[in-house]
Amino acid sequence: MQVNQVLVSASLGDAVTNAAFELRAMLRRVAPSDIYARYIDPRIMDDVLLLRRYDRRASHRPERDLLILHASIGEPELFRFLRHRPERLVVVYHNVSPAESFLPYDPAFAGLLEEGRRELAVLAQRAVMALAVSEFNAAELRSMGFADVRVSPLVVDVARLQAIEPDPATVNHLQGLDGPVVLFVGQLLPHKRPDLLLMAHHVLATYLVPEAHLILVGAPRLPRYQQGLQLFLQDLNLTRAWITGSVTPEALAAFYRHASMFVTLSEHEGFCVPLLEAMGFSLPVLARACPAIPETLGHGGLLLPEDGDPLLVAEAVAEVLDDDRLRADLVSRGQIRLGDFDPDAARARLVENLLSVI
């Protein structure tokens, strides 16, 4: 028996790819297991197999095998591959982002997101089980027609990131900054609203905390959107804002260690791993009550209304930066909340669910 995983795209540092690597390490203790992808980051070509190679490595009794799909976007070739395979199918749903946010910047990409939801609705009829990383995601799966839906939180092992030696060059640069650092970590995509963060920083730096810095750390997946953000930053003359692009784990550790607080204004998440990473580095966390942020954050941070605008965000950031008691309270609450996401407990839950269908 084999238990293999498939995903549309495998990229270094991507949350879905990281989840697949984590799961493969567990699966290989009980059965042969590999990861296959339609598109592979050249930096991990030695660790992930191209989807077209699957048939060459398939077992002689595929009906006894298990295929695990990590679902986050549509892909016609992968869908055709999955629809008629004899292996039993398990879907791990990381959430499909709202297509409308992407239409102005990449209509083709928006189309793949819409297609992703349609494909899942078809695959629901043949999946033996679906795993959701949050109750919000589980509700979406049920609405698509999946019968056996279980919540199995992501394995987020913050200790691994904490143990990484920070990149010396990044540390040197950050030590040269002369004010507090507001940090965002996440892909620079429209639904994560880095544009609102730039607006809020403009208010913060102009009227409230002029010495504050804003650092946006994340991969620029949409070139047109990235260009628009850079132009917006220049138009607002935000000399203390920095869009870093993709960074190494060593640089990411440096950013977390030097930041004063973590802020996300994302309007749609399936889980939001950086919330837990920020808690792990003892940062006060501020976010808006958008899906599925409240479920992950719990009482571990400062939660603003879903429609919180840049002015409200700037005022809240200033309050956190200026009030030591508030900062200490948020850090303490974050540490308590992080304890609810024990990685070993998440691994055990995941293995238990998979063993029930193996």
pLDDT number for residue 206: 97
pLDDT number for residue 12: 85
pLDDT number for residue 60: 81
pTM confidence score = 0.94
pLDDT number for residue 57: 75
Positions of the chain with pLDDT lower than 70, given as ranges = none
**Tokens 């996401």 belong to which residue?**
341
Write a three-state SS string for the chain. CCEEEEEEEECCCCHHHHHHHHHHHHHCCCCCCCEEEEEECHHHCCCCEEHHHHHHHCCCCHHHCEEEEEECCCCHHHHHHHHCCCCEEEEEECCCCCHHHCCCCCHHHHHHHHHHHHHHHHHCCCEEEEEECCHHHHHHHHHHCCCCEEECCCCCCHHHHHCCCCCHHHHHHHHCCCCCEEEEECCCCHHHCHHHHHHHHHHHHHHHCCCCEEEEECCCCCHHHHHHHHHHHHHCCCCCEEEEECCCHHHHHHHHHHCCEEEECCCCCCCCHHHHHHHHCCCCEEEECCCCHHHHHCCCCEEECCCCCHHHHHHHHHHHHHCHHHHHHHHHHHHHHHHHHCHHHHHHHHHHHHHCCC
d(CA 130, CA 124): 8
CA angle 351, 153, 277 (to 5 degrees): 120
pLDDT number for residue 13: 81
Q: What is the pLDDT of residues 42-85, one digit of tens each?
A: 999 999 999 999 988 777 888 899 999 999 999 999 999 999 89
CA angle 224, 98, 114 (to 5 degrees): 95
Residues above pLDDT 70, as percent of the chain = 100
Contact 141, 149 (CB under 8 A): yes
d(CA 279, CA 161): 12
- Domains defined for the chain, CATH in brackets: 3-152 (3.40.50.2000), 159-340 (3.40.50.2000)
pLDDT number for residue 146: 98
Closest CA to 271 of 252, 297, 289, 249: 297
